[in-house]
Amino acid sequence: MGKKTVFSGIQPSGSLTIGNYIGAIKNWISLQNEYDCYYCIVDLHAITVPQVPKDLRKNTLELLSIYLASGLDPEKSTIFIQSHIPAHAELTWVLNTISYMGQLGRMTQYKEKSQRSEENLNAGLFTYPVLMAADILLYQTDLVPVGEDQKQHLELARDLAERFNNRYSPTFKVPEPLIKKEGAKIMSLQNPKSKMSKSDENENGYILILDKPDVIRKKVKRAVTDSIGKVKYNDEQLGIKNLMNIYSVFSGDSIQEIENRYGGTGYGKFKEDVAEVVVEGLTPIQEKYDYYMKNKDYLEKVYKQAAEKANYISMKTLRKVYRKVGFIQR
């Protein structure tokens, strides 16, 4: 038996937060040795909100540089750009025809986004999760490492795979989500009840992967906590709980170890140390990022080579699908 397959992706829609890093990229790294991994830059998804074309191009290369700087290895994983592989859009069309409007309308992210972008309520926002399902199903994916917020989309991908398999005949593998408990949902530093997101109006709510040390220190210092004054992991202290999760992921220390170490000290010292582990974790990534951004030829080599493999694998699935729905062979 060959290796199992992993697929995941991130939108190239501007700077990434440590939420993206912890919920996704960091987990991807460790999967590279054991699985056949596909890590995608989902530019087709990104245009569901208005983009400035030259910024989208820049953001795409920046995201590729972040992937590489974080430790994704093009010798081990297929690191590619979604729009380079026509099968993604083609399978989306077929899956659209077995997707129910009702189910798509119930997607939490769609509901949130449609409230935010009333003047741009385009059909792409609505069928966005169908494109995501196509991404995953094309590669006969076993596992999809994502943050908690993508769980509902994953369920849709599973439903569509099963529906297609039942209606025609077994074609798609039904994928499983891989959501790590710690770090599945990193919260805003300013409002620990809502997800850390780069679309937050308050920039103190998020830490970007490319934030400089002083900015990180300032943002952690300003993070909202509580008046209890004891570093303890529980749902009464959501701000502290979030900082503990961040500390734990970056340092590798368990929550219990962190409680033991900081239970007796005040929040001041704890916050200082949280900022330091984040700075220590991000600095080497930032240095490598600068290196890759200066080597555009290398980036091009990476995505072009990956596109060949992604194209080959995805076309195998697409050909099967086209045959089963009754299209004449090209």
What residues make contact with ligand TYM under the rule CB under 6 A? 7-11, 19-20, 22-24, 42, 45, 132, 135-136, 144, 146-147, 149-150, 184-186, 195-196
- Smallest gap, in angstroms, from Cβ of residue 235 to ligand TYM? 17
Amino acid at 263: G
Nearer to ligand TYM, 295 or 311 (CB): 311
- Smallest gap, in angstroms, from Cβ of residue 283 to ligand TYM? 21
Which sign, positive or negative, has the C-alpha torsion 50, 300, 23, 318?
positive
- Smallest gap, in angstroms, from Cβ of residue 90 to ligand TYM? 15
Nearest position to ligand TYM, beta carbon: 23
Active site residue 198: yes
Nearer to ligand TYM, 26 or 271 (CB): 26
Choice among 195, 219, 241, 271 that is catalytic: 195
323: enclosing H helix or E strand: helix 296-325
- Smallest gap, in angstroms, from Cβ of residue 135 to ligand TYM? 4
Nearer to ligand TYM, 48 or 237 (CB): 48
Residues 140/115, Cβ–Cβ less than 8 Å:
no
Active site residue 230: no
Choice among 76, 180, 198, 324 that is catalytic: 198
Nearer to ligand TYM, 45 or 241 (CB): 45
Please list the active-site residues. 113, 195, 198
